[in-house]
Structure 1
Amino acid sequence: MTAGRPSLPRPQAATAARLATLLLVATSLLAGIAGGLLRAGVPLPAPPDSVWLGQAAVAHAALMICGFLGTVIGIERAVAVKRRWAFAAPLASASAGLLMLAGHARVGAWLAVCAAASFVAVNVVVVRRQTAAHTLLLLAGALAWLAGTLRFALADGGTSTLAWWFAFLVMTIAAERLEMTRLMRREPGAQAMLLGILAAIVTGAAASAAWPVVGGVLYGAALCLLAVWLGRFDIARRTVRAQGLSRYMAVCLLTGYLWLAVAGLAWAATAIGLPARDAALHALGLGFIVSMVMGHAPVILPAVARIKLQFGAHFYLPLALLHLSLALRLGPGAADPAWRALGAAGNAAAILLFAATVVVSALRWRTRTMATPAADDPPEPWTTPR
């Protein structure tokens, strides 16, 4: 310790680092939402010399996928492996988003590469501890993120970069669902079928740079097949008949799979020259990915952030708003910019409403536990099986 500069005790230092990372995550999320609204034609109040808002519009995809989702997934994985160095990945990806907002896009892009490379190392640890199909898929997803960030740093984005980034998220979700299907009796060949579909997604992403039509059509077709596989084999088909949190999660999953199929069709249509790019990107990014986030957050947050949530029917409100506003954006909004902007505003409102729902649910749990003796507490409602 340097004289005259006392260091924080280790628990306080860890808490400070966690809060700083969460602040960076929130910054990437809010800036990514603002940038997405601008790109959709929603006017936002801002000073005339506001630089960050323009940067947010340019870096919208990088902020949402790397700065926000990549950081959140990185934190979850770091908590799981229980290695201090594993937090380098989420810290780097969150910092990359801040640098992009500050106008240092090139430095931020290469820091995102470092984040993805660190994340690959974390997933190697996961595979060494448990070598299984789902952990190997997690590693493959991490490698897809690294491929996407490298393309982003070298070629300033493009469809191929987005294909790799979405492949990272899709394979991460597929790995989670594959692990959960172990609770079900699967048909022979179901796992091999899933791995073949995911291999087609990776092949489509790789081919998109040199052969955009062939790669895009293959990528879109594979997304459609993945939606069919998930709808057929996922345990959500059973848990949707349950009650409480289990049903809510199943509704999030099953509606997300419908949007995944829409995204696949739109991705292939875009590759052959049809005007379906908005549907391809946002049916996948909002309809599928964000729906998955809403479904898994009540289970993941207690484990990662050490907060407990009081589940209730109010969780369905942001989910309903997300799907209704997305249908508005991709339906009437495909032909009318005003409807598209209104739908995009509803998308943003759904995400913010979900964040508020989580905060209120955490406060409700805290209030209830403070008012009720611990011995009399009922079973925790967030520990329902996925």
Structure 2
Amino acid sequence: MKSPFVYILPLAILSLILGIWGGWVRMGWAIQIPSAIPISQHGIFMVGGFLGTLVSLERVATLHKTILLGIPLMFGLSIPFFLFDLPNISYLLLISGSIGYLGVCVYNYKKYKSEGDLLLLAGATFQILGHFALSKTNSYPIAFAAWMLFLLFTIVGERLELTRFLPKGKFQKIELYFWLFLVMFTSALYHFGTAKILSLSLFGLSQWLIRNDIALLNIKKQNSYKFLGFSLLTAFAWLAITGIIGFLSGPFLYDALLHAFFIGFVLNMILAHAPIIFPALLKINHKPFHPTYYLWLFILNLSLGLRIIGDFQENSDWRLFGGIFNGIAFIAYLLNVAFLILKKQLYAKNDQIRSI
């Protein structure tokens, strides 16, 4: 029986493609794009459509309740309404989906009482605030502060869940919550002089993750475990770089900060988890791996570095080429994972036919 998630994942992929496509045009690439696609909504396509659908799909899948599929579906369906120039309906769907996702997080926390679920719950709250702020102010800088907290708390919460078997002392937990509280507090007061403290707290959180996650253990292993370790460490490094960038200045500082976090930290996390998440969502008992994964990891991060150096050097060519290869590398990686899953399924089906 086909997993019902197979019908929702295409909406997430559509959001991703539209978001990347719009981002390229916004950067200055002369790429033809249908007039119906609002390139100004690049951010909501990526965070609300793609990441919102993906994150909620992952959490809903663990509860095995068909009715909850409506939550990721609302995130995914918000994007077509942007294309039909009906943003109010899109925002209604995004906020409704976010509230539904918050309900799932509340349920999980009440059931398991874990620290990871508590952070996921906090992240879900920030997601609602981000979508609501954008719908009322149409200001991406305001929304991005809440979205950053949504993704940061979600990722740290998931890492805590996945590494709960590792011993963590009282001081380690106090340190983690100190950095998270500082990130939250300084994000809220960012425009009131706390930018440098926020940068310091992001750097502090990154070094905590490097020391207390399983990434350093995984890189000593082989195949998919080693790749997982490299991807995680790369993501943590970009979180540190995001903090360092906050101490700098330049005309494209906003672009550098945003993409160091959302591409460097968040997308590298997806590279790490995609070979695990997608088969689980599709009910496939196979975790694909191929050494070509490293190629896309390398291109994604090299091009992001080029883009950010271009931001500070005010070099438009570096920014443009860095930006386009960011998108190409990420899409190519997802296609690589999908190809390996499909290949395995076809081999399994052929074996079944031969055994009849």
The TM-score normalised by the length of structure 1 is: 0.85
State, as a whole percentage, how many aligned pairs show the same letter: 28
2:177 aligned residue (195, 216, 229): 195
Instruction: Report the RMSD for the aligned CA atoms in angstroms.
Output: 2.2
Alpha carbons of structure 1 residues 367 and 95: separation in structure 2 relative to 1, 3 Å: closer
* 2:316 matched residue in structure 1: 337
1:309-320 to 2 correspondences below 5 Å: 309-320=287-298
CA separation in 2, counterparts of 1:180 and 1:159?
32
Cα displacement string for residues 40-97 of structure 1 (whole angstroms, at most 9, x for unaligned residues): 2122124xxx3233x0x21111110110011011111111122233222211111112
Is 1:138–1:171's contact at 8 Å kept on the other side of the alignment?
A: yes
- Report the alpha carbon displacement of residue 269 of structure 1 after superposing the two structures with TM: 4.1
CA displacement, residues 210-247 of structure 1 (integer Å, 9 cap, x when unaligned): xx142433332221111111111111111111111111
Decide which moves more: 305-314 or 29-38: 305-314
1:278 aligns with 2:270: no
Q: What code does the residue aligned with 1:105 have?
A: P
Instruction: Quote the residue 1:86 is aligned against.
Output: 68
Q: How many residues align?
A: 352
Change (3 A) 1:192 1:38: same
Alignment correspondent of 2:187: 205
| Residue of structure 2 aligned with 1:122, choices 100, 104, 128 | 104
How far the C-alpha of 1:24 sits from its partner, in A, is 1.7
What SS does the corresponding residue of 2:51 show, helix, strand or coil? Answer: helix
1:302 is aligned with what amino acid? P
Greater shift, 97-106 or 26-35, is seen at: 97-106
Aligned twin of 2:127: 145
Q: Within the alignment, does 1:35 sit opposite 2:22 as a pair?
A: yes
Q: 2:160 is matched with which residue: 164, 175, 178?
A: 178
| Superposed counterparts of 1:180-259, under 5 Å | 180-208=162-190, 212-259=191-238
Distance 1:246 1:319 in 2: 15
Match of 2:8 in 1: 21
Task: State the Cα distance separating 1:101 from its structure 2 match.
Answer: 2.7
Structure 2 CA distance for aligned equivalents of residues 250 and 70 of structure 1: 25
CA distance in 1, matches of 2:232, 2:6: 30
Worse-matched range after superposition: 180-189 or 348-357: 180-189
How far off its partner does 1:332 sit? 3.5
In the other structure, the counterpart of 2:300 is 322
Q: Hey, what's the Cα distance between the residues in 2 that align with 1:207 and 1:318?
A: 37
Aligned counterparts of 1:217 and 1:99: Cα–Cα separation in 2: 38
What amino acid sits opposite 1:326 in the alignment? L
CA deviation after TM superposition for structure 1 residue 123, in Å = 0.7
Most deviating of 328-337 and 122-131: 328-337
Conserved in 2, the CA contact under 8 Å of 1:267 and 1:280?
A: yes
**Amino acid paired to 1:276:** L
**Mapped contact 1:309–1:365 kept (Cα < 8 A):** no
- Of stretches 252-261 and 36-45 in structure 1, the one that deviates more from structure 2 is 36-45
Q: What residue is the counterpart of 2:35 in the other structure?
A: 51
Decide which of 329, 341, 344 is 1:365's aligned counterpart: 344
Deviation at 1:160, TM superposition (A): 2.5
SS of residue paired to 1:259: helix
1:154 aligned partner, one-letter code: K
Deviations 1:4-24 (A, max 9, x none): xxxxxxx78x74xx4442222
* Shift in alpha-carbon separation, 1:268–1:102, aligned structure 2, 3 A: farther
1:20–1:186 distance in 2 versus 1, CA, 3 Å: closer
Residue 298 of structure 1: aligned partner: 275
Offset of residue 186 of structure 1: 2.9
Show the counterpart of 1:65: 47
Alignment partners' CA distance in 1, 2:146 and 2:66: 28
Measured against aligned partners, the alpha-carbon deviations of 1:178-227 in whole angstroms (never above 9, x if no partner) come to 2233333334311121122112222223224xxx1424333322211111
User: What residue ranges of structure 1 are gaps of 5+ in the alignment?
Assistant: 1-10, 375-386
2:302 is the counterpart of 1:289: no
Shift of 1:161: 1.0
Q: Match for 1:181: what amino acid?
A: T
1:134·1:175 contact (CA, 8 Å) conserved in 2?
Answer: yes
Partner of 1:306, secondary structure, is: coil
Give structure 2 stretches of 5+ with no counterpart. Answer: none
